[in-house]
Structures are given as C-alpha cells and as structure tokens.
Structure 1
Amino acid sequence: LTAAIAPCALLKDVHLGLALPGRGPTRLAVVSGHYLYYHYGCDGVDDRGWGCGYRTLQTLFSWPEGRPVAVPELAAMQAALEDMGDKPPGFRGSQSWIGCVEASLCLDHFGGPQGRLRHVTRGAGLQGELERLYSHFAGGGGPVMVGGDADAQSKALLGVCLGPGTEAYVLVLDPHCWGAPKNPSELQAAGWVGWQEVSTAFDPHSFYNLCMTSCNSQEQTCALD
C-alpha cells in the first residue's frame, strides 16, 4: 500500500443539514454521537476499486467521538487480519476486499466500538430489517456497515425514516467518493450521503451482512451532544 495522492481533511457528521425524504417522517431515527467520513484516497492511498470496506470500517472506528484518534490505517487492518489467521499469508499489502465479518474482527482487535453482526438472507433485501435498524438508531447506536454478494459495494447506514404508509428510507453514506470534498454540502449535492428509498437502494436478489456498532459496555459513555 503506497501513498499516491495528497491526503485531504476529513469531514465530520456530513449528513447534517439534509432535508427529510418523501412526505415527511412518521418515525425518524438517526445516528447519535459523531463520526468522520472516510472515503477513497482520503489518507493518500489510492484504493479505488477495492478499499470501500476498509473506508466504511474507518468511519465506524471514528464513532462516537468523531476523531481520527485510534482509527487504524488500511495497512494495519490488513496486517491484523493476517496475524489473527482470518486471512492467508500475503494478504497484507494486497488489494483484497473486506466485508462486515472482517470489520467486526477488526473492531474487536483494535478496541473500537462493539460490532454486532446480522445476516439478511437473499431475496429479502433490507425491507425486513427496518424495525431493527430503527430501534438501533433510536437507542443511540452508531453507524451500520452494509455489504452483500450480488451487491458487494460497502456502505454505511446512518438512519431510518419510516412512513407515512409504506414509505421507507435509509440514510446512506457512500465511501466511493474520490477527491477532496470541501464541505458536507458538496457531498450531499453529489449524492455521496443522502436518503434513499429502501426498495431501490438495495438489491432484493443479494444477501447482506450488517455490522451494527454500539458502545462497548454500560460503563462507556457515548458522545451524544
């Protein structure tokens, strides 16, 4: 992994200021605390085409304080996965993808927020997970990493907006942005963060894994201001 471009400043809480979707919410729950938006090339490593899972995982690591302290670099995550035996020798330095299972292992290894895995079977999309996701965010939960098989592009969920009627939206943070965004408004206008209708945002023919972050213990307090 070599630096190929200049690093850029990380933006914080990039969903703030977004208009609510549809006809307005019957129920709304969004992420508590703070996070940083990690994306392709943000640290000077050109990871286009393979690094989206690592970038989403870095966003999870930055929660709930919204600081880069203790957020591991891509090389450190690859080395950890190889050292713990999850990946074969030679994984470090590669351009191999990772998903939610690897994310939960890294969160535990590096002492990040707790990552709880949830598997969504093929054909269901995320329609059946809306109540669970709503409860997660309403209860103070952090960003949720999402990845699948037919839909293998990693992304993070930051909230759920339900109703009226059958309307249902998820707040999606997409790490595939390349460049140096100057502010959240620029990201919102380009669609890198925004509300998406759940039936079109996710492939009903793909299975999905979720990695749902929360505070490590009852004693740990999350920054909810």
Structure 2
Amino acid sequence: MNLDSENNEDPAKCTLVKGDYLYFHYGCDGQDDRGWGCGYRTIETMASWLCQNWSPPKYQNRPPPSLPEIQQALVAMGDKPGSFSGSREWIGTFEASLVLDYFYDVPCKLVHIRGGEAELERVAVEELHQHFEKHGSPVMMGGDRDNSSKGILGVCTGDKGSYLLVVDPHYYGCQLEKTELQRRGLVTWKRLSSLDQTSFYNLCMPQTAKIGK
C-alpha cells in the first residue's frame, strides 16, 4: 500500500471499506453533470456498496438511483421544492443521508468538523477509524470552502500523519481500468494536511453494522 513517496513505513493503523463498490463519476450514465453532479455521484457510489453488501434481500438488487431519481426522492420527501427536479442544483451530505435512508432504509450518522488540521485529526480521523471498523461502508465528505464531494474509502494513521483513501467523482470520460484510475489520482491516498484547512467538513456515514440481525 503506497501512501506517499515520502512515507515508506507501514501505517500504525489502517482501516478500510469492506466489500465491493462501483465508481460513479461525471457522465458515467450519459448525463453530462459536470460542475454540479459530484454529490449525486458520490451517493451512487455509496449506494452501489449497499446494493452489493446490504443484507436484506429486498435491497440486494436495487441499483443505485439515477440523478433524476435522487432529485425526485428529495422532492417527494419535502426536502426540496418541485422546481428542484431537472435542475442543476448541488447536494451535500445531509441530502445524501436522506436519499440513502429513502431508497435503502439505512440511517446515516452526520459528523461536523469545524476545520483546521488539529480538528480533522482529532475528530474526523477517529470517527472514520471507528466507522470502517464497525460498519465498513463508504463515507461521503463535503465542506463549505472545499465544496467538492469526496467518497472516503479508508483512513490510515502513522508517524508522518494521516491519509484518506479518496474516490473522486470529478472525472468525465470513458470507463477506465482500476490501475488507470489510480494513476490519474481518481482513487488515491491523500494526506489529511492537503485538505483546505479554512473549510469546515461534514461526513455522512451509513450505519450498517446491525443489518440482518
């Protein structure tokens, strides 16, 4: 696991997503959503994990909702006005929690991080370690100044700091092989310190530990 060219030591603690998922990105279904659809695509990536790893049989073959279906669901729940359907409005972690509960009956924990590397290390890293150990599902991360949606698939902590395994939905183009996604940095380890330290961040964490019990 190559975290960084400067980090040749094994991480002291590393927790990762459990199970399979699909990578959703701009335009992957033929809809050009560049500039506004990153939150929707991260939700679809999270939903793909639920489709393949969620225990109740009625959800196992439920494909990730399309962008129009996500918008229609938010309108049906009363979170958005009717004019939201067919729009290019952004959505974030709160909407993600509503959508995943609507389609898959999975509650989500929302965690707010005020910003700054110390707060990210103290709150986000520990929350992510606990989440992947207990639930194993992908996490959505978004902020205010840094408003680009990110899928978080793992966290590693060592002597040289913490890293997040990020799946980036901001790719538009033909389907790529896994190694090419990694080469382009679309699925990659990123230093926690590389995040915008002036931005607050929110995490949306699907609570999947008690499924099937």
Name the residue aligned to 2:100: 107
Percent of paired sites with the same residue: 47
Question: Per the alignment, in what secondary structure is the counterpart of residue 99 of structure 2?
Answer: helix
Change (3 A) 1:49 1:68: farther
Question: Per the alignment, in what secondary structure is the counterpart of residue 172 of structure 1?
Answer: strand
Counterpart contact for 2:46–2:137, Cα < 8 Å:
yes
Name the residue aligned to 2:127: 132
Counterpart contact for 1:156–1:174, Cα < 8 Å:
yes
Among 179, 203, 212, which residue is 2:196 paired with?
203
Change (3 A) 1:190 1:107: same
Name the residue aligned to 1:82: 75
Name the residue aligned to 1:60: 46
Aligned equivalents of 1:182 and 1:27: distance in 2?
30
Counterpart contact for 2:3–2:163, Cα < 8 Å:
no
Instruction: Report how far residue 158 of structure 1 moved.
Output: 0.5
Aligned equivalents of 1:151 and 1:212: distance in 2?
19
Question: Per the alignment, in what secondary structure is the counterpart of residue 107 of structure 1?
Answer: helix
Name the residue aligned to 1:19: 2
Question: Per the alignment, in what secondary structure is the counterpart of residue 49 of structure 1?
Answer: coil
Instruction: Report how far residue 170 of structure 1 moved.
Output: 0.8
Aligned equivalents of 1:68 and 1:193: distance in 2?
25
Name the residue aligned to 1:118: 111
Amino acid in structure 2 at the alignment position of 1:184: K
- Alpha-carbon deviations, 1:54-102, whole Å to 9, x = none? 0000011111417873311000110111121111220000000000000
Q: Which stretch of structure 1 is more off in the superposition, 138-147 or 208-217?
A: 208-217
Task: Point out where structure 1 has 5 or more consecutive residues left out of the alignment.
Answer: 1-17, 221-225
**Equivalenced residues, count:** 201
Amino acid in structure 2 at the alignment position of 1:19: N
Counterpart contact for 1:141–1:214, Cα < 8 Å:
no
Question: Per the alignment, in what secondary structure is the counterpart of residue 186 of structure 1?
Answer: helix
Within-5 A mapping of 1:1-225: 19-21=2-4, 22=7, 23-64=9-50, 65=52, 69-111=62-104, 113-123=106-116, 126-128=120-122, 129-163=124-158, 165-200=159-194, 202-215=195-208, 217-219=210-212
Question: Per the alignment, in what secondary structure is the counterpart of residue 84 of structure 2?
Answer: coil
Aligned equivalents of 1:153 and 1:218: distance in 2?
30
Instruction: Report how far residue 122 of structure 1 moved.
Output: 3.6
What's the TM-score, normalizing by structure 2?
Answer: 0.87
Cα RMSD, aligned residues only: 1.9
Aligned equivalents of 1:196 and 1:112: distance in 2?
31
What's the TM-score, normalizing by structure 1?
Answer: 0.83
Aligned equivalents of 2:173 and 2:126: distance in 1?
35
Aligned equivalents of 1:112 and 1:198: distance in 2?
31
- Alpha-carbon deviations, 1:186-218, whole Å to 9, x = none? 100000010011011x21111111101232734
Instruction: Report how far residue 167 of structure 1 moved.
Output: 1.8
